[in-house]
Structure 1
Amino acid sequence: MVFVGLGRSRIKVMPAPSFEMLTEPRFVRPGEDFLTLNGNHLNLAASERDIEVKVGGEACPLTALANKILTCQPPVKKPIGAGKLNPEIVVTVGNASFSVGEVSYDSPGLSSSLFFIILIFILFMIGLIICLIVLYRRKTNTHQRQMKYLKTQMDTIEMKVATECKEAFAELQTSLNQYTADLPLGTPTAPFLEYKDYCARVLFPNGGKNHPVLKNLEVDTHKAEAIEAGLREFHKLLMNKTFLLTMVRTMEANKYFVGKDRVYVGSLLMVVLQEKMGYCTEMLKQLLRELIEKTVEKKFQPKILFRRSESIAERMLAAWFTFLLHDHLKTYDAGKKLYELFWGIKQQMEKGPQDALTLEARYSLSEEKLLRATFEYKELTVFVNSTDSVYSSQQSDIPDIDSSSRIEGGNWKRLNTLAHYNVPNNAILTLTSKSNSLYNLSILSDRSEKSSLSMKTGGGVGSPKPWGGAPPSVIADHASSSADTDNGYKLYHLVKPTEHGPTDSQEKMVTEIYLTRLLMMKGTLAKFITSLLESIFSSRTVPPCIKYMFDFMDEQAREHGIMDPEVVHAWKSNALPLRFWVNLIKNPHFLFDIQKPTKIEGCLSVVAQTLMDACSTQDHQLTKDSPSSKLLFAKDMYQYRDLVDSYYTEISMTPRIDDATMGANLSAESRQHNGEFHVFSALNELYKYLDQYKESIIDALESNEHAQASRLPGRLQDLLALMESDYYRATDYESSTLGLGYNSNSRLMPRDRL
């Protein structure tokens, strides 16, 4: 600001006002908005009356004025004489005019960037709608194809179900009649085991023919005399009633004397006492009296008595029947009928496919072992040469698993079959021993056969050549892998062990449709099952031991005031059918010279369960959720129970066997089978338990007047001192829980010198 002096007056000079230009038209709503203009020094040298604002030539009255802003009221309507699209804003300050910009009375237009964004959004929405339409059409077409595929699958399954039902019906009507008519003619003679082997398998199922009681006891030469003398004294003590009963009571009173030990000690005692069955029976009856009295006094459930081997007496009772019923099994029908049933099950199961690993079969009585899938298979007619041929260098090994085995998804590998090697019909096979096979014997399974098959192109001069142009002879080893894995692969044969039903490559069907095979199998074997039960519960030839023991149970029930007939019925059923016959049905190799029937054990278990149900006095209400084994024989159960009831009733009505007659029979039994077992070995096994519980047994003998009178405590201590004088520890037999034994380089003398 500059001041100029002219005499006494001064002039004040101010900066000229300036306005900011509008870059684009200013939009106003007529009658509502005010027009605001920005600038500098607007009110320094001018007032509101000095400033005039016009919009399109029409006045815009000022409403406010400040240094940097002014506001005016634009015309309500767009000026007509503007001459331009938008009216021009002109501000006049004194003699100076400023064109600031334009005013728009129309709606604000879109900017180019906003317009571009809107355009892209519209195009995106159009593309999205098109994609949704395409996806919808594709989804619709896929759904239609799936529905068409499912309909085709349902039609296929319906056809397969219909075919399966027709096959099951045909098998029920044709195969059943043909098989039941032909089977008895093809059943070979029952190969009964000898008395010694039969008893050993029943009494020592884990030991079999290798159990110590079947061979001489071997000890060090310099210890043999002392050990023999000690075992002889032990044998004498066991022939003393007081000592034997005291030893058994003391062992059973110990809480660490577990069920496995009770079974083993009971079996060993029966082996030692077998040469004196009269004395054995007397001790058995006394132990049974004490067991029944204990059950009644403690108010235990009397019906479960003799059901399990929870005491030495119960195990001795089962062994007692085992000894005395061997001749009856061989002479009368029961043993033969059991073998016919075993043979019938085996033959019927082999008519269809069976999984080598899971043991599930097309024809089975057991729902758990039923092969719930349909497989294409065919029968092969082969010629078997029973002579063991020399292994030829031209023969090739074809094991279950090799480099040609088929590998499937999920790391599964399938076992090779004869079809895998394209073995033709009418091939000539030669049985070869395992020692001649190149297959690794370390991976053989318990399920494998005892021989291999050698397939040859010819059998000599004039022999047929069924192989035609096939390669040289090969050896087929029937062994299966003992493990379910092979180099990281999971093995399977027909059905994968983790699945129940067909594999992924097969048609899926409702697995319950295959339950009709159970009915067909039951119908095929019903004749043999009924014949077996009729022979077991036949009162025409009742062995004296059964009559004698049943009368003893009736007598004990009367002595203890047990009037409920179901209790005595349960005792008899638990003692004989459930403890003896069920064991033989599940394990026919105990009685016959056959391999362990692993492949048919599911069917045998169903037959054994049927026998148990027939002996039950309770009538269970069956529903669709009941076990299939019970539903299969539901209609026959009344007939079977009548057999059992009639059997027990008729036995009770026969004349009683007096003790003298029974004693003569028992003496004859001992003479007939004298020397079957090596008693020294049995005494040695039994001594391990005597040594473990010696302190308790000595204390019990010292508190017994009869034992004191017979000097039993002193004799036992002398026995222990004699045995421990040159005592040696050796490997123990696996069935025992103890770890004491005798290593030997010399054998003790035979048992007949006892």
Structure 2
Amino acid sequence: MHHRASLPDESGAIEVQVQANDGAIQTATYRKQFIYRDPDVLDFTPKIGPKSGGTMVTIIGQYVNAGRNIKAYFGASSCHIDRTESVVNETHLLCITTMTNATNSAKLSIYFDGAERLAPDYKTFVFTNDPEVSSFYPMTSMISGGRAINVTGQYFTSIQRPKMFVNAGKLFVSEPCMVHSFDKMKCISPPVVLSRVKMDTQVLVGFIMDAVVLQPDLDFEIKDDPVYYPFADDGNIKEYSRGRQLVIEGENLNLASMASEVFVTIGEEECRVVSLSDVQLNCVPPEDAPRGVNKTGISSENGLSEVRVKVGNLDFFIGYLKYPTAEQSKISGAILGLVAALALLLIITILIIVICYLRNRKLDNQIAEEVENWLEIIAMGTRTRPDMVLPFLDFCNYTANMITDGQADNPLFKRRLQSDTDCTKSLEQFYSLLVDESFCLVFIRTLEDQTKMTTNHKATVGYLLTIILQRERHMFYLTELLKVLLAETAVKANKTKRTRSMLKRNDSIMEKILTSWFAITLYTLTKMCIGESVFMMYKAVCVQHNKETGNVMKPTDTVQRSVATVFKECLIVARQQNPVFPAPIKYMFDFMDSLVVKNDIVDRDVAKIWKCDSLHLRFFAKILKRPQSMLDINISRAVGRELDKISQAFVEICSDTKKHQQLTRTLKTLNTFADGCEHTSKK
């Protein structure tokens, strides 16, 4: 059909004739000019919508507001004319689609006081299936709202103004959501202003999508708002030392927000958030002092940079950050240099005393000689014996061995992809999905629920995810994923009364990621604090196995001493009372403590059991069993069997509270390298 040409306007006077009952006719003339117009339909938008209707269509044309009675149809389905909107004029008209049973293309026809006008044939409206929501994440929000909710489903692109609502006895509707693709959109949770809403209140959540209203059967919780405390210093001014993280305290900080959702500004610049616990936020300030302004860019009264925290719809004033002057920085650097020099001198002095004592004791067995040489190397700052260098693996090989349980040579990791463009593009697209938190969590949950997946399959998925994200420098993202998965596991374990055994098994993707996380973050600790003792234990076991002695000490005594040293170091380094408690261990242990509190777990031993199961029984026990995971050494089967026994003994000690306490007492009387000198002199 060819589009018709519009007729020119016509105007003229109007004559009205009225016939009375007696047959007399009276004529009246309307003095103002009456204009006759020929409306024309040129286009409309949008051209897609759900079959249930509710899509607001803007019709574009000429004189489309002519006439008193206007009706519009898409095919046989009516489209209700709305003439109340301010945009309705001679060139624009609005109508709202109604329900239809078919999903097809339909032409637009409009009747102006009965006169039909058609849109061009090639401009049609497509009725699609109604949108569906399959999942959304996160599944919590705060009372004040403002949290980004990632929604997954289908047919989202056919919706004009999707909105999210919370039903807490009263409906609270969000602003329009942002549709990203056919199956993804992002909504901002609305504030829920009800005095009776308390923390962990479960509410109903739904979505309004044109004329479609969906209320999926998924749990959603409203948490208490976070509260960030202002700096406690005078005038809310905090002195800042360069190179350190800024600590901001509060409460309920991570009930309904992750570190990536909290934004800290210092003046006009960002303070990058690196960790978030229930009561504390840590961020890295800019190296140089930002301008002394507030959030609007206006100079502050005291000339210092204003610190603010924004999360969701909340905005907190924290105070002001005062950077040291250049002169103060030089003085601080000099003081730190002096302290470091004194500390180094003290350490060297202690080491020399120990060396002298060991020489006087004439410990001429193989292990003691190697320990002595190690101390001489450290004290003198030179390596007089190249063969005594600790054969510790580099980070890449260490990570591959620790994460894959020694399967780094598996053909799966050696296989190279062909340079197929489609294959490479597909992998890149899959990787982009993996770094999307909502997809990755749904992906992991789905695999965890597959009963046909073996433990090895889940372990493979766990360490492949870890390797991919660690290599791409996404450790922060990986940590947040792990915390979400660990929190979900704790909730399930609490409901099923299995909190004590939650981390006993190693048959889930989450547990593999947890083990790998400790392996990656504790590389430096392993190399600097434990690696040497493990190497000495390995050498002692080799000596005993080969029976290479005429030394003063029996080989069995040597093994016992070296094993006791390793056990002691593994146990002491993970004690929270340790003044140099490693930051990664503290971070994860604090998170486990918060999970116990959040889930109202009254068993006081649960947190201790989780910490022991996650660190001692997974990480340290693996190092004792397979020291080749971190050392460049070859272990024979016979030595491997002995190391397996040592690892099993460590597991039994950590698993048995009484044995653990007994070992703690025994370690105090053992003649180990760490405290043997003092004990022997007393004897």
TM-score by length of 2: 0.39
Higher relative contact order (CA 8 A, sep 6+): 1
- Determine which structure has the larger strand proportion and give its number: 2
TM-score by length of 1: 0.36
